[in-house]
Amino acid sequence: MQEIQNLKMESKEKAFLQLFSMLPPTTDVIGLAEKIREIEEKFGIRFTVVAEILSPTQSLDKETIDQFFPAIQRIIAKEMELELFEVTLQSDLIEDLNVDSISHVSINAAIEEEFDIDISLEDMADMKGSTVEDYVRLVAEKKA
């Protein structure tokens, strides 16, 4: 549909959310299915990815954020030569902070050292295109 063609968003996730917010409240199941098909064609992803975007993982509690975010924020800001205020929980590593593959490896190494954890290659692959909050969640899981 025309709405999809007119989307000019910085990330696929934002485009999905914008598209779904444009659906009228009376959209029926068939209308929703058509929109999902259009999204899959436009962005080349499966519906399960759309479902993950629309049903994000549980938010972190304040204690977890307070425990891990300041150090992660400091590490990312240092590695990316940013001010602390530029690194928020919602910052997208690639879109907002311009983290490339080399920076990603440096950030992971610094986080591993800071928290005395191991970040596997699988963890690293999962982190690409993620947010700072995803790093906080990963560290919290590794420290649990």
pLDDT digits (tens, 9 = 90+) for 14-59: 666 666 666 666 666 566 667 767 766 776 655 544 444 444 456 7
Q: Is this prediction's pTM over 0.85?
A: no
Comparing 62 with 17, which gets the higher pLDDT? 62
Q: And the tokens for 40? A: 């899959």
**CA–CA separation, 124 and 101 (whole Å):** 10
Q: What is the pLDDT of residues 119-144, one digit of tens each?
A: 888 887 776 668 898 899 899 989 88
**CA–CA separation, 136 and 115 (whole Å):** 11
Q: Domains in the chain and their CATH numbers?
A: 2-54 (no CATH), 62-143 (1.10.1200.10)
